[in-house]
Amino acid sequence: MPQDNTIAVPTRLILGSSSVYRKELLSRLGLPFDTMVPDIDETPHPGETPDATALRLAREKAAAVAAKAGAALVIGSDQVATLDGEQIGKPGNHANALKQLQKMRGRQVIFHTALCLWDGRKPDAARAAQMRNVQTLVTFRDLPDAELDAYLRIEQPYDCAGSAKNEGLGIAILQSIQSDDPTALTGLPLIALTDMLRQAGVAFFGQPAAQPR
């Protein structure tokens, strides 16, 4: 008789993030989940490539929460925006945000959105993590300073890498978005995540969980 390799769904699914945007995205899946804030240093390492930074931080966030959560599935995610290979962080204030938008107008920016699903039911840390990096190519409109300044004063996206909320009014300063996952740019790639969750034995639509491959 074939062996059933399905892993029992844990009692907890945890989003390792304080981001309201990631929380809203995860809620779309209709799965109950908790949130915990990972306490890690998010400073890029010297000489680290943008995709490596995003992947490392996503893993460290998930691992930090998993260390406290026990037998749960923990989601960690991180996003790094780059222009000509240079990392673009969260602006933090209006002046920095305006400088970012001025630098990016008429240009294409690459957003690396890294995802880690950490399975706390697996004792081997080397096998506990599923990793994915979803790239999004964003071209910004070539807009005058007055429009960029007005946008920032209305939406105040100072906690967003790239200084624009594509899910809000920021869509008006973007010319095009190219990605395999439309939710990646907002911060949590749901297509990749649902694939990972299925691999971990999580059921969707009230159906029995598929066997992990």
Q: ∠ CA(27), CA(30), CA(36), 5° rounding?
A: 45
pTM for the full model? 0.87
Q: What percent of the chain has pLDDT over 70?
A: 92
Using one digit for the tens of pLDDT, what is the confidence trace for 124-165?
Answer: 877 899 999 999 999 999 999 999 999 999 999 998 888 999
Contact 97, 179 (CB under 8 A): no
Answer yes or no: is pLDDT of 3 > 80.
Answer: no
**Among 37-41, 104-108, 170-174, where is mean pLDDT lowest?**
37-41
| Residues taking part in catalysis | 78
**Structure tokens that stand for 6 in this block:** 């399905």
132 and 196 Cβ atoms separated by less than 8 Å:
yes
**Which residues fall within 8 angstroms of residue 121, CB to CB, at 6 or more apart?**
7, 8, 10, 71, 72
Percent of all residues in the chain with a pLDDT value above 90, rounded to a whole number: 71
Assess whether pLDDT exceeds 60 at residue 7: no
Question: Strands 34-35 and 108-119: what pairing?
Answer: unpaired
Residue identified by tokens 């190219």 is 178
For 44-89, write each residue's pLDDT tens digit. Answer: 899 899 999 999 999 999 999 999 998 899 999 999 999 998 898 8
